[in-house]
Amino acid sequence: MDEVVKARVTGAAPEGASDPEAASRAVREMFTAIAPRYDLLNHLLSANVDKLWWRRTAKAFSTILSRPEAKVLDLCCGTGDMAFALRRQGSGPAITGADFSHTMLTRAAGKTRESQKMRWIEADALRLPFPDENFDLVTSAFGFRNLADYDAGLHEILRVLRPGGECGILEFSEPRGLMGKIYNLYFKGVLPRVGRLISGSSGAYSYLPASVQRFPEPPEFLERMRAAGFRDASWNRYTFGIAGLYRGKR
């Protein structure tokens, strides 16, 4: 079997970070440093498949998004593309994007004409400045993996969701089999080099494959979602399992 057994981890741990506070600081500094080149690299390194994943995720929540009174939070929103996809899928629900990197958030807030119709909040996903039971939908695309404490992140999402509200976490995963081997050559060999060259950051694009490898496998992450209190936890594979959508309900 080519199942990989991973040690149970608390959360992201960029190189050199000795505790969760340091990990969180390092993640924020890293994304702030690559913010000016983030979109270019995202689309280039994923051959624009990222756009498909955001759209597919938004479509998965079309029922909630079709309600104009719905309140939606996109966590770790970065430069806003997941939040924009949610807005385009919906019929005018209130969409808030939250991120703890001021520079990423500024780019989201100035990116499109739609930006002005959305709310952008600088906030740590582990300490959200929102009351309990506030949102009908909370999403996060490629951000959750970077949290310094995954279980605390799940509890915080659950806290701000209304009863019956839904959560969607879009994350990378590690494809298996031949496809996995081919993809790994690219993801661990080519991507860090191109990323370093274009972004000028030596750490960020080596951290990316390392953080995906560290993130729990789908069965373990689903178990953590259930333990946190989510109902109907599920995982849906995207593009050979390069990414996938975790869903759960409060």
Residue type at position 189: G
* Contacts by residues 179-188 (CB-CB < 8 Å, ≥ 24 positions apart): 179/240, 179/241, 180/2, 180/241, 183/240, 183/242, 187/212
3-state secondary structure 196-246: HHHHCCCCHHHHHHHHHHHCCCHHHHHHHHHHHCCEEEEEEEEHHHCEEEE
Which of residues 26, 58, 77, 225 is near ligand SAM by CB under 6 A? 77
| Least distance CB 141 / ligand SAM (angstroms) | 3
Which of residues 23, 27, 222, 228 is near ligand SAM by CB under 6 A? 27
Rule CB under 6 A: is residue 82 a binding residue for ligand SAM? Answer: yes
Angle at 13 between CA 12 and CA 18, to 5 degrees: 140
Rule CB under 6 A: is residue 76 a binding residue for ligand SAM? Answer: yes
109-148 residues in contact with ligand SAM (CB under 6 A) are: 124-126, 141-143, 146-147
215-244 residues in contact with ligand SAM (CB under 6 A) are: none
196-215 residues in contact with ligand SAM (CB under 6 A) are: none
What is the H or E stretch that residue 52 is in?
Answer: helix 49-60
| Residue closer to ligand SAM, measured from CB, 1 or 47 | 47
| Residue closer to ligand SAM, measured from CB, 155 or 219 | 155
Q: Give the C-alpha separation, 143 to 1, whole Å.
A: 30
* Interface pattern 160-199 for ligand SAM (x via CB under 6 A): ----------------------------------------
Rule CB under 6 A: is residue 104 a binding residue for ligand SAM? Answer: yes
- Interface residue list for ligand SAM (CB under 6 A): 24, 27-28, 31, 42, 76-78, 81-82, 99-101, 104, 124-126, 141-143, 146-147
